[in-house]
């Protein structure tokens, strides 16, 4: 129990430090219908035919980014798609009683004049059943579907963090 509490406090401390750190995101890679996408990337991954953490769907990866909403009304990221994977879902990672879990969610709310960060350990776009190996330095196309802003297409570099 003490180890779980220590881990949880360390995680909170790390998150607090990360939130305070200034981030120069530069210009958005896409700005469309009031939605701006900053610093998108997908995790490098090899192929693993026949196995996988999603019911045998094969290799998986995830994509991350910062989404800003310049509109005066809240928007919602409802779904995503990519030619790089058989299935694409929006997931959230959470911690409960010292156990980390991941589950598909209905969407991610992007507050009016606010932002939502898709990052490791939080919300992310799950790429399930990869059709190709995702190699560091390559790019993949992601199509994001928003409730109000509609479809936003972007290129995400593949990284091996």
Whether 120 maps to a domain, the answer reads yes
Whether 1 maps to a domain, the answer reads no
- What is the CA angle 100-102-105, rounded to 5? 140
- DSSP code of residue 110: E
Quote the number of domains for the chain: 1
pTM above 0.85, yes or no: no
Find the distance separating the first CA and the last CA of the chain, reported in whole Å.
31
Whether 94 maps to a domain, the answer reads yes
Whether 135 maps to a domain, the answer reads yes
d(CA 109, CA 157): 24
Whether 67 maps to a domain, the answer reads yes
Enclosing domain of residue 89: 28-159
Question: Is 50 in contact with 57 (CB distance < 8 Å)?
Answer: no
Q: What is the pLDDT of residues 69-92, one digit of tens each?
A: 999 999 999 999 999 999 999 999
Q: What local confidence, expressed as pLDDT, does residue 22 receive?
A: 41
Tell me the pLDDT band of 100, cut-offs 50, 70 and 90. Answer: confident
Whether 47 maps to a domain, the answer reads yes
- Select from 119, 129, 118 the least CA-distant residue to 61: 129
Q: Which two tokens stand for residue 48?
A: 């693993």
Q: CATH number, domain at 108?
A: 2.60.40.1890
Whether 108 maps to a domain, the answer reads yes
């Amino acid at each position: 129990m003490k180890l779980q509490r220590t881990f949880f406090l360390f995680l909170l401390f790390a998150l607090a430090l990360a939130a305070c750190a200034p981030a120069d995101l530069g210009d958005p890679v896409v700005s469309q219908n009031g939605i701006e996408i900053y610093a998108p990337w997908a995790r490098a991954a090899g192929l693993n035919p026949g196995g996988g953490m999603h019911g045998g769907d094969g290799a998986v990866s995830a994509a991350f980014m910062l989404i800003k909403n310049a509109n005066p009304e809240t928007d919602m990221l409802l779904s995503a798609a990519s030619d790089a994977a058989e299935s694409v879902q929006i997931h959230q990672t959470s911690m409960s009683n010292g156990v980390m879990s991941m589950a598909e969610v209905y969407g991610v709310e992007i507050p009016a004049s606010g932002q939502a960060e898709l990052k490791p350990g939080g919300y992310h776009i799950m790429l399930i059943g990869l059709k190709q190996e995702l190699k560091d330095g390559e790019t993949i196309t992601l199509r994001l579907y928003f409730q109000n802003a509609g479809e936003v297409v972007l290129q995400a570099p593949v990284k091996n963090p």
